[in-house]
Amino acid sequence: MSDFDNNPFADPDLNNPFKPPPGNVRMTHVPSTQPAIMKPTEESPAYTQISKEHALAQAELLKRQEEVERKAAELDCKDREMQSVNQQGGRKNNWPPLPDNFPVGPCFYQDFSVDIPVEFQKTVKVMYYLWMFHTVTLFLNIFGCLAWFYIDATRGVDFVLSILWFLLFTPCSFVCWYRPLYGAFRSDSSFRFFVFFFVYICQFAVHVLQAAGFQRWGNCGWISSLTSLNKSIPVGIMMTIIAALFTASAVISLIMFKKVHGLYHITGASFEKAQQEFATGVMSNKTVQTAAANAASTAATSAAQNVFKGN
């Protein structure tokens, strides 16, 4: 057979006796191309834990930075205030806020953002609002006693006393317990804290008596309001509302007393510091110094005269 009879496209190993049978051909192992899927039970990589710790550390750092910036802003505000005070020769009183053409000017200086540290500003403001709340209640108490006097002519004493309590307790409560509290947090004064505690306990007792409302005491408390309901329901309802305001004032006063007492321990105040402040304040008082100098001079003169008389 000539070479032209051979198929050039045929498999040359088709007639090869040494070629293995087709059934015995083994395919080489081809690795699977399916992507690996992380099992839910597998732990997260270590870099995830590191990133979480880094995020927490960064958040803590930002929190501290905000606190430092707040403190710096507070100090800057106080520095500007002190500079303005030095330039003007003293702080100008701004409370009570009165018009410029009013014959009487303000008596006190009050600025929470300047005088009171940030962590105590909320407490001092609440005490200020509590004083205002009690003042408004005393003012409404006048109208309640007036209505009671209108339906019962024997209640004239209560009406007069209600006016007296408003005129007395409004300025006295501001000067005797609110201003000592304001000054205690402003200058961290242990002595002023003790003044506040002593006066405020008396103030709380007054709140309780006003809420009780004994007759002929000038207060629209619960006893007076329940008595007036027998004669006039509208007047009784009005007095009951005032009694509820007196009660709310007493409850809030007790809560704030505990709050201030807790802050008192935080500030580091103590009875020993109060004694030292009192002694220092008394000895630095010009009137006391003058009286002591006069007493010493008188004693020295008397002693000299006795010496000469003895000779």
pLDDT tens-digit profile of 63-99? 888 877 777 776 666 666 665 554 444 678 889 888 8
Residue 78 maps to a domain: no
Residue 20, CB half-sphere, CA atoms under 13 Å: how many?
Answer: 5
Q: Rounded CA gap, 181 and 192, in Å?
A: 7
How many other C-beta atoms can be found within 10 angstroms of the C-beta atom of residue 134? Answer: 24
Per the structure block, which two tokens stand in for 80?
Answer: 């500007």
Per the structure block, which two tokens stand in for 85?
Answer: 């005070």
Residue 207 maps to a domain: yes
- For residue 135, pLDDT beyond 90: yes
- For residue 144, pLDDT beyond 80: yes
pLDDT value, residue 238: 96
Q: What is the pLDDT of residues 200-250, one digit of tens each?
A: 999 999 999 999 999 899 999 999 999 999 899 999 999 999 999 999 999
Q: Are 194 and 236 in contact (CB under 8 A)?
A: no
Give Cβ neighbours of residue 257 (< 8 Å, ≥ 6 apart).
200, 201, 204
Residue 291 maps to a domain: no
Domain coverage including residue 121: 117-282
Residue 110 maps to a domain: no
Q: pLDDT-derived band of residue 282, with 50, 70 and 90 as boundaries?
A: very low
Residue 92 maps to a domain: no
Cis amide prior to 180 (ω within 30 degrees): no
Query: What domain count does the chain have?
Result: 1
- For residue 281, pLDDT beyond 90: no
pLDDT value, residue 15: 57
Q: Rounded CA gap, 97 and 86, in Å?
A: 23
pLDDT-wise least confident of 52-61, 116-125, 172-181, 273-282: 273-282
Residue 107 maps to a domain: no
Per the structure block, which two tokens stand in for 294?
Answer: 């006069």
Q: pLDDT-derived band of residue 278, with 50, 70 and 90 as boundaries?
A: low
Mean of the per-residue pLDDT values of the chain: 78
The CA-CA-CA angle for residues 110, 166, 147, to 5°, reads 140
